[in-house]
Structure 1
Amino acid sequence: MEAFLQISFGGLVHGSIYALAAIGIVLIYKTTDVVNFAHGEMAMITAFVSYTFYGIMGLPFIVSFLLALVFAALFGMSIYRLFMKRVQNSEPLNQIVLTLGLFLAFHGLAGLIWGHTPIGYREAIPGDSFQFLGIYMKPNQLFTLGITLVLMLLLFYLFKNTKIGLAMRATQQDMETSSLMGIKVSQIFNWTWASGAVLGAVAGMLTAPVTYLHPSMMSEILMMGFAAAVLGGFISLPGAVFGGVVVGVYSNWISYYVSTELSVVFVFLLIVVVLYLKPTGLFGTKFVKKV
C-alpha cells in the first residue's frame, strides 16, 4: 500500500504539470480554434530564458521566475501578432502547419543559442524529502502542486466571472458576430496566446529540474499534455485538468507495475478506449458554432 500511495503521489505531481500544459493548449484552441503544436517549444525557450536570468546574469531565482513569465506573455503575444494573426481566417490545416513550422524553428533556435548539452536547473524550493502520511515528498513537489492549483483556480475564475472571460466565450461561439458586438477579437486572441504561453512556461520551469534543460525537454510533456486534453474533451478546461491528473497517475502505475517503456503505449490505449466509448472525451460535448 505504501508503494501504491508513493507512486500515486508522484503521478499526481507529474499530472499537475501535464494539466498545466493541457490547459494552455485547450485555452488557445477553445478561443481561437488553433491547435498549437509549438506550445512545448515555447515553454522550453522560456525555461532557458529563466536560466539565463538566474544562472548567467545572477538574478535571484524568484525574480528570474517572474521575469520569465513576463517574457512568456510577451512571447505569446508576439507569436500571435507576427504569425497567427496573418492566418487567422485561413484553413485549419494552414494554421496547424504553421505551428509545426514554429515548433521546428524554436527547437533549432534553442540549440543554436544554448546548445544541446543538458544543463542543470535548480528547484524552485530546494529541500530534502520528508515523510507525511507514509508518503515521501519534497518541498518542490508541494510547490508544484500548489502553484498549479492556484493558476487553475485563477484561470477558471477569470474565464467564468470576468468580462475578458465572457469575451473569450463569445469569440469562441462566433468571431464575426463578437466583432460586430464591439468585442476586440484581435485583443482577445492576443491575451489568450499570452495566457497560454504563461501556463506552458510554468509547466516548463517545473519540468526543467527533473529533465534538465535541453531543446527536447518538453517533448514528452507536450505529448502527455495533448493526451490529457483529448482525454478530457479538448474544449473543456476542467476536462484538461482531470485528464492531466489521470494521465500522470495512470502512467506512473503502468511504469511501476508493468514497464516504464510501455507507459506511453498504455496511456494512448486508454485514450483509444475512452474515445471509443465517448467520442467527445470525458468532459466534451458536441459543439456547434452559432451562425
Structure 2
Amino acid sequence: MAALGIALIWKTSRTTNFAQGSIGTLNAYVAGILLMSFGWNIWVVAAVSMVSAFLTGVLIDTFIIRPAAKVSPISKQIITLGLIMVIVGLIPLLFGVDPYRLPSFIPSSSVTLAGATLRYNTIFVIAVSLSLMGFLFWFIKNTRWGLAIRVTAASESTAKLMGVPTRTVTMISWASAAMMGTLAALIVAPQSSVNPNMLLDVQVSAFFAGVLGGFSTFAGPVAGSFIIAFARNFTAFYISDIWGNVIVYSLILVFLYFKPYGLFGKKIVKKV
C-alpha cells in the first residue's frame, strides 16, 4: 500500500513523497485517539481515519505542494522532507507523548497451513490488500478517471491540452496515497503501537520496492514489495533478521547495477 501510494504520487506529480509514512502515522493517531478516548469500534475508527487521510492529502496538495511547484520541481521533494519534521513535531502537541494501542480487525486466533502458523487477521489483511490493489488497477485501467490519471502520468502538459483536469487528478492522487499510507499504519499498529516512528521501516521498504520494481509502472512497486517481503522473511528465518536485511538490500543494489530502471521499468527516450 505504501509503495503504491508513493508510485501514484510520483507518476502524477513527479514528486518523491518522503512523508508518505508520516502522513499515515498522523492519521493512525486520529484512529488511536478515537478508539482510546471515545471507545469507538475499530471498524468505525478505520473508516473515520480514511476520511481524515483523504482530507489530509487534499490539504497538503492544495496548500503546500501546488504552490511549491511554481518555484521549482526540486522544491516539492524538499518540502516532503520538511513535512516529516512538521508532522513528527505536531504529533506530541496534538495527541500527547504516550503511544496508542490499536486492536486487530479480526480477534486473535490462528490456523496452521503447511507447517506455518497464520493468524486469521493476517489472512484478512492479505485478502483486503490484494482486493484493494486489484480494484485500484481495474479503476486506473477501465474508468475515465483512471484514464485521466494515466494521461497525467504520461505527460501533464499534454493532458492539460487535451482538457484533463490535471490539478484535480493530482489532488485525488495525494488523497488516495494518504489513505493507502493510513491503511498501512492501521495494519502495522496492532503488531507494535501507534508511535511517531511506526512506519519508518515500511517507508524505507516501500522506496526500495519502488526502485526494485520500477516507478514507470503502477504494478512495479507492488511486485517489488512482495519480492522484498518474501526475501526478508526467508533470510530472517534461515540466516538472521539483521544479516537477512543486509543481504536482501545488497542483492537489490547489485540487481540495479545491471538493470537501473527496475524490474518492470523502461528507459524513456525523447525525440526532439
Q: Distance in 2 between matches of 1:235 and 1:110?
A: 34
Q: Deviations for 1:69-103, whole angstroms, at most 9, x for unmatched residues?
A: 11111111111001001122443321111000001
1:131-146 aligned at under 5 Å gives the runs: 131-146=112-127
Q: Distance in 2 between matches of 1:288 and 1:28?
A: 22
> Following TM superposition, by how much is the alpha carbon of 1:289 offset from its aligned partner in structure 2, in angstroms?
6.5
State whether residues 73 and 197 of structure 1, in contact with CA within 8 Å, keep that contact through their aligned partners in structure 2.
yes
Q: Distance in 2 between matches of 1:44 and 1:71?
A: 12
Q: TM-score, normalised by structure 1?
A: 0.89
Corresponding residue number in structure 2 for 1:57 = 38
| CA shift in 2, pair 1:186/1:290, >3 Å | farther
Corresponding residue number in structure 1 for 2:72 = 91
Cα RMSD between the aligned structures?
1.6
Q: Are 1:217 and 2:231 counterparts?
A: no
**4+ residue runs of structure 1 moved beyond 6 angstroms?**
none
Q: Are 1:177 and 2:158 counterparts?
A: yes
> Following TM superposition, by how much is the alpha carbon of 1:276 offset from its aligned partner in structure 2, in angstroms?
1.0
Report the 3-state secondary structure (helix = DSSP H, G, I; strand = E; otherwise coil) of the residue aligned with 1:83.
helix
Q: Percent identity?
A: 35
> Following TM superposition, by how much is the alpha carbon of 1:202 offset from its aligned partner in structure 2, in angstroms?
0.6
Residue 125 of structure 2 aligns with an amino acid whose one-letter code is T
Corresponding residue number in structure 2 for 1:238 = 219
| CA shift in 2, pair 1:109/1:81, >3 Å | same
Which of the residues 174, 179, 189 maps onto 1:198?
Answer: 179
Report the 3-state secondary structure (helix = DSSP H, G, I; strand = E; otherwise coil) of the residue aligned with 2:185.
helix
> Following TM superposition, by how much is the alpha carbon of 1:131 offset from its aligned partner in structure 2, in angstroms?
1.4
| CA shift in 2, pair 1:257/1:115, >3 Å | farther
Q: Distance in 1 between matches of 2:63 and 2:269?
A: 30
| CA shift in 2, pair 1:155/1:289, >3 Å | farther
Q: Distance in 2 between matches of 1:66 and 1:41?
A: 19
Higher relative CO (CA 8 A, sep ≥ 6), structure 1 or 2?
1
Corresponding residue number in structure 1 for 2:23 = 42
Q: TM-score, normalised by structure 2?
A: 0.95
Q: Distance in 2 between matches of 1:257 and 1:89?
A: 51
Which of the residues 93, 99, 108 maps onto 2:89?
Answer: 108
| CA shift in 2, pair 1:166/1:259, >3 Å | same
Question: Where does the alignment leave 5 or more consecutive residues of structure 2 unmatched?
Answer: none
Report the 3-state secondary structure (helix = DSSP H, G, I; strand = E; otherwise coil) of the residue aligned with 2:36.
helix
> Following TM superposition, by how much is the alpha carbon of 1:125 offset from its aligned partner in structure 2, in angstroms?
0.8
Question: Where does the alignment leave 5 or more consecutive residues of structure 1 unmatched?
Answer: 1-19
Report the 3-state secondary structure (helix = DSSP H, G, I; strand = E; otherwise coil) of the residue aligned with 2:183.
helix
State whether residues 208 and 217 of structure 1, in contact with CA within 8 Å, keep that contact through their aligned partners in structure 2.
yes
